[in-house]
Amino acid sequence: MTEPITILGAGCTGPLLATLLAERHAAVRIFERRPDVRRMRLAGGRSINLALAARGLAGLERAGLMDAIRPLLVPMRGRIVHDLAGGTRFLPYGQRPHELLWSVPRLGLNRVLTDAAEARGVEFHFEHAARRADFDKGTLELEDLANGRRFEVAMSPVFGADGAGSTLRSAMVAAGRGSAREEALEHLYKEISIPARADGSHVFDPGALHIWPRGGYMLIALPNVDGSFTATLFLAASGGPVSFAALTSGRAVREFFAAQFGDVLPLVPDLESEFTANPTGHMSTIYAAPWRVGGQALLVGDAAHGIVPFHGQGMNCAFEDCRVLDDLIALGGDWSEVFARFDELRREDTLAIARMAVENYTEMRDTVRDPVFALQKELSLELERRQPDRFIPRYSMVMFHDEIAYAEAERRGALQSVLLEEATRGHLSLGDIDLNALETAVVKRLSPVSAPAVRA
């Protein structure tokens, strides 16, 4: 920790990692291509609203930042599903008071994290772009975008927290130090704003994430502290009348919303202009290996393992990266050892959450409408009450139990899914199921939950 540490990227991950490193008395500098986020206004429609869960909260708590971030948060107790006729159904996320998700604005969170890192002595260089990495020389070339001046800094070490389009990852691949593959989702997204009522209140229940599932596509809405909602439409890029390719005029957009999201349409006065003005976003999963070059460079967060947003875990997983790195640094060893251990420890888990995120898209847009799905959710909560050390719903393991690794949540979730499918086959209500016999099967087929030595 005697040499200066370089971080590429001043999104949410870079400043959190910098704060934790600074707490260990490291000299940290961050280079960011964009202007200072504290002095800019986020362009409309450029980010999916963020949902903080246990893994992200643990990282923020480790850095001592929760008091600063808490005023930005809106608690969400569950999902409210809106059907085509305008009816709604509430599905709780969990059953304990703390089992909530927290809606948070990306820009506000980024500002708090940047302020916190700067207060701890982290040096920020905005409008500085990484241009080239020479792993043989151990240098990184950067450009000051204000004047075009290029200069070199030592890598010793450099962390790539520069997102799914990571410059450092591209440099590693170009130098033959790794490989990377991007698996794009065929669906795209676009954001629109649902403003608050005239009195500043929310037009929908602000204590939930709202979903309009329509089978092959969906609309979601997350509450903001100012009374508004940020809504996001997820839809196929092309391939028929229900696709972004078909929504080429304001009239087509309005007719589509009238037919599919009738309760939303009157709440968005500027729908056509906002739909046209806001960009259409792409989503993909990033597969890279390795994430490191010796003790010189390490990819973290989306730069290493970007995922689609449907489990709300992109930011949470990245913040968990920061906490796990902090744990590994505390164990000792040089950077090469820390980076190798990080790559080994996190790889299986990040692959698991990538798979679960894609699966959750199908659940959110389609399966959530099925009465059997609701019955299985109800049964899951009942089994958790009876056997809390053996049966925890997979969603809860991912969102509320940061002591359970993603890969373990996926493995246990698959076993539990078999039990639920067997138990609910041919049944329509909880009263039809022999709960005592099912509890016996849970004890027989599921071992008690165990936590790893290094929480990951």
Q: Kindly state whether residue 261 falls inside one of the protein's structural domains.
A: no
Distance CA 423, CA 111 (A): 48
Domain endpoint, select from 332, 360, 388: 360
Each residue of 33-55: pLDDT tens digit?
A: 999 999 877 555 555 679 999 99
Q: Kindly state whether residue 135 falls inside one of the protein's structural domains.
A: yes
Q: Which pLDDT does position 369 carry in this prediction?
A: 84
In this structure, the answer to whether residues 24 and 173 fall within a common structural domain is yes
Residue of 402, 405, 403 whose CA lies nearest to 413:
405
Domain endpoint, select from 340, 360, 380: 360
Q: Kindly state whether residue 83 falls inside one of the protein's structural domains.
A: no
Q: Kindly state whether residue 43 falls inside one of the protein's structural domains.
A: yes
In this structure, the answer to whether residues 375 and 353 fall within a common structural domain is no
In this structure, the answer to whether residues 438 and 289 fall within a common structural domain is no
In this structure, the answer to whether residues 436 and 297 fall within a common structural domain is no
In this structure, the answer to whether residues 305 and 396 fall within a common structural domain is no
**pLDDT above 70 as % of the chain:** 97
Each residue of 275-312: pLDDT tens digit?
A: 999 999 999 999 999 999 999 999 999 999 999 999 99
Each residue of 322-343: pLDDT tens digit?
A: 999 999 999 999 999 999 999 9
Each residue of 145-154: pLDDT tens digit?
A: 999 999 999 9
In this structure, the answer to whether residues 137 and 155 fall within a common structural domain is yes
Asked if residue 309 lies in contact with residue 230, where contact means CB atoms within 8 angstroms, the answer is no
Q: Which pLDDT does position 25 carry in this prediction?
A: 94
- Quote the pTM value: 0.94
Q: Which pLDDT does position 368 carry in this prediction?
A: 84
Total number of domains in the chain: 2
Q: Kindly state whether residue 85 falls inside one of the protein's structural domains.
A: no
Each residue of 211-262: pLDDT tens digit?
A: 999 999 999 999 999 999 999 999 999 988 899 999 999 999 999 999 999 9
Q: Which pLDDT does position 363 carry in this prediction?
A: 85
In this structure, the answer to whether residues 345 and 406 fall within a common structural domain is no
Domain endpoint, select from 316, 342, 360: 360
In this structure, the answer to whether residues 155 and 59 fall within a common structural domain is yes
Q: Which pLDDT does position 1 carry in this prediction?
A: 65
pLDDT greater at residue 351 or residue 372: 351
Q: Which pLDDT does position 421 carry in this prediction?
A: 94
Each residue of 360-411: pLDDT tens digit?
A: 888 888 888 888 888 999 999 999 999 999 999 999 999 999 999 999 999 9
Q: Kindly state whether residue 79 falls inside one of the protein's structural domains.
A: no
In this structure, the answer to whether residues 150 and 61 fall within a common structural domain is yes
Q: Kindly state whether residue 21 falls inside one of the protein's structural domains.
A: yes
Find the CATH number of the domain harbouring 37. 3.50.50.60
In this structure, the answer to whether residues 292 and 398 fall within a common structural domain is no
Check residue 215 and give left, alpha or beta (phi > 0: left; psi -120 to 50: alpha).
Answer: left
In this structure, the answer to whether residues 156 and 290 fall within a common structural domain is yes
Q: Kindly state whether residue 266 falls inside one of the protein's structural domains.
A: no
**pLDDT above 90 as % of the chain:** 89
- Mean pLDDT, range 66-95, rounded to an integer: 94
Residue-number span of the structural domain to which 375 is assigned? 370-445
In this structure, the answer to whether residues 306 and 387 fall within a common structural domain is no
Q: Which pLDDT does position 428 carry in this prediction?
A: 86
